[in-house]
Structure 1
Amino acid sequence: MIYNGKLFNNNGENYYEKLSNLLDIKKLLIYALIALLLSRINILFYIAPIGIAFTAIIMFKNNKVLTVLVGIFSILGYFSIRSNFDSFDLYIIINMILIFLGIFFNIKKKHRLFILLLICLISYIYKYFYVRFSIYPTLFSITIEVGIIYVLYYVFDIFIKSISYFNTNYIFKKEDIICLVITTCLILCGINGFKIFNLDLSNILIVLFVFMMSYINGMSVGVICAVFSGSIMGFIYGNFTEYIAIYSVIATVSSFLSLSSRFTVSVISIVCVLILKLSNMSSMDIGSNLFLIEIFIGSVIFDVVPKSYLMKITMYFNEEYKKEFYTNKRLFNTLDMRIQKINEFNDIIKELSDMIVSNVNFKYKILDKKIYIEILAESVCGECSNVNKCWKVNFNKVRTEMLLSLDNFIQGDKSLTEYIDGLCIRKDKFKNELYKISNFYNIQKVYEERIYEAQDMLSYELKNLHNIINQSIKEVKKDIVIKVNYEKSLISKFNKFNIKYFDIICYEESERLKVKIILPYNIFIEYKNDLLDIINIALDREMIIQDEPSKYINSNDEIIVTYVEKYCYNVVSHCLQLSKKDKNGDSYICTNSINDDYLIILSDGIGSGIEAYNKSKFTVDLIYKFVRTSLSLSSCIKEIISIISLKFFRDEAISTIDFARIDLYTGKMNYLKFSSIITYIKRNNEVFILGNERDLNDNSLDDDIRILSSEFDLECGDILVHLTDGLIHFKDLSNKAWLYTFLKRCDVSSPDKLCEEILREFKILNSGSFQDDVSVIVSKVYKN
C-alpha cells in the first residue's frame, strides 16, 4: 500500500516506524551524553549527587532501555573523575540500585519519597560505617545531597518536558526557560577537565552561553545563568567568588547592551573583566591568564556565530520572541488558508474567460445560406407548374444561381441573376421572398457580431477581474509584523494610569507602526488627548489619530481607534464651482484616506444639470471605493475605465477622470487623467504642467479619449490646481493658456484665496458668462 508517497508493508516495518526508531536512538544517545556530563560534577571533592538526580528522573519515565543506558553512562561519568573524588563507590552503588529498580519494578512519581529515603539510607550507611564520618558531618552531608537531588528532580523534569517542545509552537514560561538554562549550565560544567592546548573547554562554552543568554533574554535570565554557572565552576575549582564575579560582569554588560552589536558587547565585556582582574593583582598568575584567554575565545565565538543559529537559540530560550514568531506564523497560516480559497475562485474566473473565447458552444451561429435556399425553393417553387422543368433539367445550376441572387439581396443589390430572371415565371414572388430572407439574414448577422463583441468584452473584463484579485492577494500578503514589545509597553502604561480598554494591537505595515485600541466610547471621550500623549511616551514615536473614530462605534458602545506614525506632509484643499444650470454637473472628493495618503478626485460629467452630476458622482464614488481597497493605481485604472464605459455605453457620455493620490510620508504623487485637461503645479515662481500640453494651444478642444498615468515628487509649499474644461470654454476667447500665465504672476498662496482669484479672473476674461459648469480645486502641501 502507498501512503503519502511511502511504501507501507503490512508484514513488516513501515517508513514511519523506521524513522521513529531512528529518533528513539538519537534521543537515547542525547540522554546518555547528558547523564555522562552531569555525573562528572563533584562539589567540594566529596559530593556529586547531580548524576544521581538525573538517573532518578529518567527511572520515573518507566523506559527500561533508557534507564539502563542513562544509569550506565552515569557510572562511566563517575569513573572518569575517580581520581578527584573521595566517595566514588557510593554513587556507583546508588546508580546500580536505581537501574535495578527501573528494570524490575514499575516506579511511579508517587514513590519519590521512598526513593529519597532509600538514597538517604544508603548514603548514611556508606559514610557512617564505611568512611567513618562522625554522625553530625554525615547528617549534614546527607541533607545537602538529598536537598540537591530533590530540587534538581523538578528542574530536570521541566527540562525534559521543555526539550520535547523545542520545535513546536509551545510558548515557554519563565520557569521553563530557567530550568533549561540551569540544566544547560550543569551540562557545560560537566565538560570540566577536557582541555585543548591547556585551555578548559567548559570555561569557553560557559562564557559563550552566558553571552548568548544575556544578549537574547536580558538581565533576569543572564544573571541566573552567570551565578549558577559561576557557583558550580567555583565549587569544582575552589574559587567561588571569582567565577561568579566574572560571569556576572559578562551577563550584566550583555544585558544592558542587547541593542548594540555583538562585537561591541564582547569588547566592553573583556575590558570590564580585565579591570576586575587588575583590581586584584595578587590573583594574576598563569591560571588567571589562561582564564582570560578562555573568555576572549568565548567572546570571539559569540561574535562569529551565524545570525540564523542565534535566532534559532532565541526561539528556544526567549519567551517573548517565540510568542511573537508563532503569533505571526499563525496569522499568516490562517491568512494563507483564506487566500487559497480566493485563488481557487480566481482560477475559475480565468478558466471562464478562456472558455468564453475558445469554446464554440458559446458562439451564436447563424443558419447556413443553403438552408435559406431550401426554404426559398419550398415557398416559391413548391406551387409552381414549371418546377420539374427548372429543377430536374439542371438542378445544380438553379441552386447556384439562387445562391448568387440571395447574395445580391444581402449586399443591397435587389436584382436577380440573368439566368433566374429569364427562367423563373414567378419573379415577383421570388423577389419578395428573397427580400424577406435577406433582411432576416442581415439581422442575424448583426446579432452574431454583437454577441461576439459581448463575448470578447466579457472575457476582457473577467481577465481584468482576475488580475485585480491577484494584485489584491499580493497586497493582503504584505508583511504585517505584530510588535509584542510595543503592546507590552502600551498595556503597562494604560494599567499605570488606570485607563480601561478591551484590546490593544500594535503592528508594522509597510515598515510603519500602527496601533489599534478597542475601548469604551465614554473612556475615549474622557481621555481623548491623554491617550495620544500616553501612546507617544510608551512607543517613543510621534503618532496621530488616523480616522474620525465615531464611525467605528458598535452596538456595545465600544470604539476602535487607529493611530499611525505622524505624516511628514499635510495637504489642504479648497474647491469653488460655478453652475450653468441649477445643479453643477461636476463632482469631487478631497480627503485623507485610510491608506496614509491624500486623495484628490475630480470628474466632469458630460453636459450639465442633474444628469451630468449623477454620472460624475458615480465615477468619483467608484474611484474612491477602488482606492480604499489598497490596490495599486495601475491595477485600478483599466477596471475603472471599463466599468464606466459599460455604465455609459448606451449614450456614450463618459465622465472624465482627474485623480491624484499623494503619499503623506514621502510626498510622491501618483496621478491619472482620463480625457481630462491639464493640472498645474505652482512651485515658487515656476509652474509645472501635468497632462497633455496641446491643451494649452489656441486650437479648438480635442474630444479624443486620452489616458495618462504617471508620478510627480511634490515638495513643501507646492500648490496644485485641478480644474474642469469649463474654465477654458470661452465664448469669444480662444486663449486656453490664460491660467498658466495667471499662475506665473500670481503671488497668492492660500488655497481658498487662490480659488477666488482664479474664478474672478475667469469671469473678467469671459465677460461674466460661461458655457459650461466650472470647478476648480486648489491644494497646498505643507510640512507637518
Structure 2
Amino acid sequence: MPRTEKRTVEAGILAMNRGQANLSNWTSKIRSVIESVFFRWGFVIVLIGFLLGRAYILSNILPFALPFFAAVYVMKREKTALAFLALIGGALTVSLENTAFTFASIFMFFVYNLFFARFTKKIIGLVPFQVFLSALTAHLIVVYFTEQSLVLYDVFISTIEAGLSFVLTMIFLQSVPLLTERKGKQQPLETEEIVCLIILLASVLTGTTDWYIYGLSVQHIFTRYLVLISAFTAGAAIGSTVGVVTGLILSLANVASLYQLSLLAFSGLLGGMLKEGKRIGVGLGLLIGTSLITLYVDKQADIAITLLESVAAIGIFLFTPKFLLDKLARFVPGTVENSADQQQYLRKMRDVTSQKIARFANVFQALSNSFSTYGYVQEMDKEEQIDLFLEHVTKKTCNNCFKKDQCWSVKPEQTYEYMKEIMAQTEEGTLARNRKFHKEWSKHCMRASQVMDVVDRDLMHFYNDQEMRRQMRENRRLVAEQLQGVSKVMENFAKEIQREKENHQVQEEQIIESLRSFGVEIGNVDIYCLDQGNVDIEMTIPNVSNERGECEKLIAPMLSDILKETVFVVREERSPYPHGMSTVSFGSAKTFSVDTGIATAAMGGGLLSGDSYSTMELGAGKYALAISDGMGNGERAHMESKETLKLLQKILQSGIQETIAIKAINSILSLRTTEEIFTTLDLAMVDLRDATAKFIKVGSTPSFVKRGDRVIKVEGSNLPIGIIEDFEVDVISEQLKSGDLLIMMSDGIFEGPKHVENHDAWMKRKIKEIQTQDPQEIADILIEEVIRSRGGFIEDDMTVVVAKIEKNMPKWATIPIASKQIQ
C-alpha cells in the first residue's frame, strides 16, 4: 500500500474514533440532563402526582392521591410541595368534587400529623393508620357538606375508600422510592417490591382512562407497553404477573375493561415465551394474545382498534433505548443482565479481597526483608573479634600515652602480639601466674598493669556482647524466614481467590444426560473443576435413590468411566426429610493410599505417656505421620509432646513449608519457658500422588522402610527442639513404592531392647523376620518384642507408628455407559 493511501486510511480511522468519542460524550451529557430533570428537579413526582390526582375506581372512589402524598411526605419531604400541586392539578382536570376531596384529605393528613408526628418519625408503620383516618374523615366531611346528610351507605363507601388508601400507602411506601431516587448501585428488587412497583404504575395509568389519540386509548397503549417491557426483560412469569395486576386495577377503574385482565395476562405470557425472538418475538406475542382474547370476548367487535393499539405499543417498545431496557433488567432477579451484574460485583469483591491479601503478603515480605537486611550484624571470625577488642583496649590505655607512636608505629607487630597474648592468657586464667611474661610486658609498655587490668575487666563483657549480637542475628534470621513463609501462604491464597469457577454448563448437561439415560435420577449437577487429579463435582439426588449406596456403587463408577479417571464419594449430606434431596460431592481418588497401625505404652504401664503421635491429611494430596517424645516421662512430657504436634498440625495445615514450620515450633518452645524442656520430633510427609516421602528428624530415632526382604534405614542428625535457638533442618527424601511399610518409633522402642549393643542390626532383623503385612499387627509385634526383651517391664515410654503404602484400587469397577467423553 502506498504511503499516501496508508496515511489516508489512518486519518479516516482516527476521524471515526474521534466521532465515536464525541457521540459517546453527547449521549452521556443528554443522559445526565434527563436524569437531572427527572430525579433532581422532581419531574417524576409531578407526572405521577398529576395522573394519580385523576385516577379513580368504581366511578367515585379516589384512593390514590393521599397515599402518594403521604409516601412523598415521608420519603422525599423536600418534594412535598411539588406532589401537592401535581395532585391538585390532576384533580382539577376531572371535577371540582375530586379537587375538594383531594384538598380535604391532604388537609386532614396535616391535622392528624400534629398528633402522629411524634410517633411516625420513629415508627414509619403508623403512617398508613394516619392516612386511613385522614381519608375517612375527609370523605365524610365532603359528603356531609355537599349532600347535607350522611347515610349508612356513605359511611360504608368512606370506610372502603379509607381501607384502600391504607393498603396503597403501604404499597407506595415501598414503590415510590424506586421511581424517585437515583442510586449508583442498587440491589436486585425483591418479588414484593416488583409487585408494589407494578401496582403503582398501573395506578398511574388509571389516570389516563379518558385519554384518546386518533381514537386509540392511551391507557391501553401504555399498559401493553408495560407488559412488553416486563416480558422482554424478565420473562413469561413476570410478564404474565404484570398483565394480571395491571388488568385487575384497570378493571376496577372501569368495569367495561374487565376483559383487559385476561388480555394483558395472556399477552405477557406469550411475549415472555417468545423472548428468544428478541423484540420482534415479544411484540408478536402481544399481537397474538390481544387478537385471540378480543375475538373470544366479542367476535363482532372491531378488532382494528385493538390491533392498532397493540401496534402503537410495539412501536414505542421498538424505539425504547437498549441501555434503558438493560438497566431495568438488572433489577429483576433471574435475568441474564442481573446475573451478569451480580457476577461483576462478585468479581470486583473478589479482586478487592485478593488485592488486600496480596498487600498483606507484600507487608510480610517487606518485614522479612527488613529483618534480613536492616540492622544486620555481620558475623565476625576470631581474628576480627580480637582486633575489635584490642581497639577497644587501646582507646582506653594507649591514646593518652606518650609512647604510643613508638609502640604502634615503630614496633606494631610486637605490640599486637603481646596484647593478643595478654588476651589469650586472661581468657585461660594463666596471666596472673606467668611472671616471665609480666617482666617482658613491663619492659615493653609503660602502662603494663593498666592494660592488663582493662583486658581482665572488659574481656567477658566483650564476649557476652558478641554472643548477644549473634543471638540477635539468629533471631532476626528466624523471624525473617517465618514472615517469608506467611507471605508465601498469603500470596498463594490471593492467587487461588483470583481463580474463577469455570463455566462447565456443557459438561454438566452431558453428565446429566449420560446418567439419566442409564436410569439414574439426578436433580442437579455443579462442576467446579475437571482438572486431571483434581475433579470436584457436586450433585443433588433424591434420598430414596441413595438409600442403598447408589452414589458409591453406581454414580461414582459411571463418572469414572466418563471422566477417564477414578472418582469416589468425598462427602454426603442427606436431607432430614424422607423425600428430600441429598447433596453429594465427588472428587478424584488419589493414586496411593496410606493404611496405618499404631501401638503405644507408657512407662511402668501408666496412663500418661511422654510420647505423642499424629496422623493427618494436609490437603493437596499429602499425608503426614509424626511422633514427638517429650523429655522425661509423665504429665509434663506428655503435655510438651502433645503441644508440639498440635502446633505442627496447625502450621502445616495453613500451607507453610514443613522446614519453616519446625523452625517456628522450635522458636515458640524455646521462648515459651526458661526451663530445659526438650522435645524430639519425627515427621514423615507422603505425597499420595507419586508416593514420594520427606523425612524430617529432629532429635529422633531412625525410621525404617521395609520393601519385600529389604529393610532401608532413614536417619537424620538434628538436635531436639528447644536445645538451641536456631538450627538447619535436614530433609531426607525417599521414593516409596506400592507395598512398602514405613515404620517410625520413639527411643523407647529403638533403644529399649536389653543387652543389645547394635540397635540398628537388632531392629532390622526383627522387622525383616515379621511375616505379616498388616500395619497394626506389625506395630503390636514390635512393641511386644521390646517389652519381652526387658522381662515384661516397660522402662520407658514406647510408641511405634506403621504405615503401609498401597496403590489405590477403587472399591467398585467403572461402569461403561454409551456417552461421549467429557471434554
Distance 1:607 1:304 in 2: 74
Counterpart residue number, 2:626: 602
Q: Does 1:723 align with 2:753?
A: no
Q: 2:596 aligns with which of 537, 557, 574?
A: 574
Bigger shift: residues 727-736 or 599-608: 727-736
Aligned to 2:681: 655
> For 1:424-480, what per-residue CA distance to the aligned partner results, in whole angstroms no more than 9, with x for missing partners?
65469988887776677665554344323322332234445556776579979989x
| CA deviation vs aligned residue, 1:487-543 (integer Å, no higher than 9, x gap) | xxxxxxxxxxxxxxxxxxxxxx99999xxxxxxxxxxxxxxxxx9865365872347
Measure, in 1, the Cα distance between the counterparts of 2:575 and 2:767: 53
Q: Does 1:450 align with 2:467?
A: yes
8 Å Cα contact 1:681/1:721 also seen in 2: yes
Matched, 1:643 2:684: no
CA distance in 2, matches of 1:194, 1:461: 86
- 2:168 maps to a residue whose letter is L
Q: Which residue of 414, 418, 425 corresponds with 1:405?
A: 418
Tell me the residue number matched to 2:96. 90
Provide the rounded CA distance (Å) in 2 between the counterparts of 1:653 and 1:141. 90
Unaligned runs of 5+ in 1: 1-21, 80-86, 129-134, 316-323, 480-508, 514-530, 544-564, 688-695
Cα distance, 1:203 vs. partner? Answer: 1.7
Instruction: Tell me which of the two structures has the higher relative contact order, counting C-alpha pairs closer than 8 angstroms and 6 or more residues apart.
Output: 2
Q: Is 295-304 or 437-446 further displaced after alignment?
A: 295-304
For residues 321 and 743 of structure 2, the distance between their equivalents in structure 1, rounded to whole angstroms, comes to: 64
Q: What SS does the corresponding residue of 2:613 show, helix, strand or coil?
A: strand
More off after superposition, 453-462 vs 391-400: 391-400
Structure 2: segments with no counterpart, 5+ residues: 1-35, 115-129, 335-341, 432-436, 499-527, 530-535, 539-571, 719-728, 751-757, 791-797, 813-823
C-alpha distance after superposition, 1:291-317 (max 9, x if no partner): 4996899799999988886554559xx
Q: Does 1:232 align with 2:262?
A: no
Instruction: Indicate which of 208, 221, 224 corresponds to 1:200.
Output: 221
Q: Are residues 1:33 and 2:47 paired?
A: yes
Counterpart AA for 1:200: I
TM-score by length of 1: 0.51
Q: 2:581 aligns with which of 540, 554, 576?
A: 540
> For residue 206 of structure 1, what is the amino acid of its counterpart?
V
Match of 1:621 in 2: 646
Q: CA–CA distance in 2 between the matches of 1:25 and 1:183?
A: 17
| Distance change >3 Å, CA 245–CA 679, structure 1 → 2 | farther
* 1:423 positional shift: 8.6
**Aligned residue in 2 for 1:372:** 393
Distance change (3 Å), C-alpha of 1:239 and 1:355: same
| Contact 2:626–2:645 (CA under 8 A) maintained in structure 1 | yes
Alignment of 1:41-440 (within 5 A): 41=55, 49=62, 52-54=65-67, 57=70, 66-74=79-87, 77=90, 88-90=94-96, 93-94=99-100, 97=103, 101=107, 109=130, 111-120=134-143, 149=165, 151-153=167-169, 155-156=171-172, 159=175, 179-187=196-204, 200-209=221-230, 225-234=242-251, 238-244=256-262, 246-247=264-265, 250=268, 282-283=295-296, 285-286=303-304, 287-288=306-307, 291=310, 310=329, 312-314=331-333, 354=370, 358=374, 369-373=390-394, 402-403=415-416, 405-407=418-420, 410=423, 425-426=442-443
Counterpart amino acid of residue 535 in structure 1: P
Distance 1:352 1:451, change over 3 A: farther
How has the CA–CA distance of structure 1 residues 615 and 59 changed in structure 2, closer, same or farther, with 3 Å as cutoff?
closer
- In 2, Cα distance between equivalents of 1:267 and 1:49: 38
Q: Which residue of 2 aligns with 1:590?
A: 615
- Percent identity, please: 11
Please say if residues 599 and 783 of structure 2, whose CA atoms lie closer than 8 Å, have aligned partners that are also in contact: no
TM-score, with length taken from structure 2:
0.49
Q: For residues 663-717 of structure 1, what are the alpha-carbon distances to aligned partners after superposition, in whole Å with 9 as ceiling and x for unaligned?
A: xxxx9999764359999999xxxx9xxxxxxxx99899675854489999x9xxx
In structure 1, what is the equivalent of residue 503 of structure 2? none
Q: Which amino acid aligns with 1:455?
A: M
> Taking structure 1 as reference, are residues 733 and 224 closer, same or farther at Cα in structure 2, changes over 3 Å only?
closer
- For the Cα contact (< 8 Å) 2:67–2:172, is it kept in 1? yes
Cα distance between partner residues in 1 of 2:60 and 2:394: 116
Confirm or deny: 8 A CA contact 1:697 1:736 kept in the other structure: no
For 1:29 and 1:641, locate their aligned partners in 2 and report how far apart those are by CA, in whole Å: 70
Please state whether the residue corresponding to 1:724 is helix, strand or coil.
strand
Equivalent pair of 2:139/2:158 in contact (CA under 8 Å): no
State the shift of 1:643 in Å: 2.5
- Cα deviation for residue 230 of structure 1 reads 1.5
CA contact (8 A) 2:696 2:732 kept: yes
Q: What is the root-mean-square deviation in Å for CA atoms of aligned residues?
A: 7.7
Correspondence for 1:3: none
Q: Which amino acid aligns with 1:232?
A: I
> Are the aligned partners of 2:631 and 2:678 in contact in 1 as well (CA < 8 Å)?
no
Residue 585 of structure 1 contacts residue 609 of structure 1 at CA under 8 Å; is this kept in 2? yes
Q: 1:300 to 1:648 in 2, by over 3 A?
A: farther
Cα shift at 1:229: 0.9
AA partner of residue 589 (structure 1) = S
8 A contact 2:224–2:264 mirrored in 1? no
Q: How big is the shift at 1:29?
A: 3.3
- Output the CA distance in 2 between the equivalents of 1:294 and 1:679: 85
Residue identity opposite 1:152 in structure 2:
L
The DSSP-based 3-state class of the residue aligned with 2:774 is helix
Q: Secondary structure at the match of 2:100?
A: helix
Equivalents in 2 of 1:265, 1:710: separation in Å? 64
Paired with 1:213 and 1:39, the residues of 2 have a C-alpha distance of 30
Give the 3-state SS of the residue equivalent to 1:590 in structure 2: strand
Distance 1:591 1:699, change over 3 A: closer
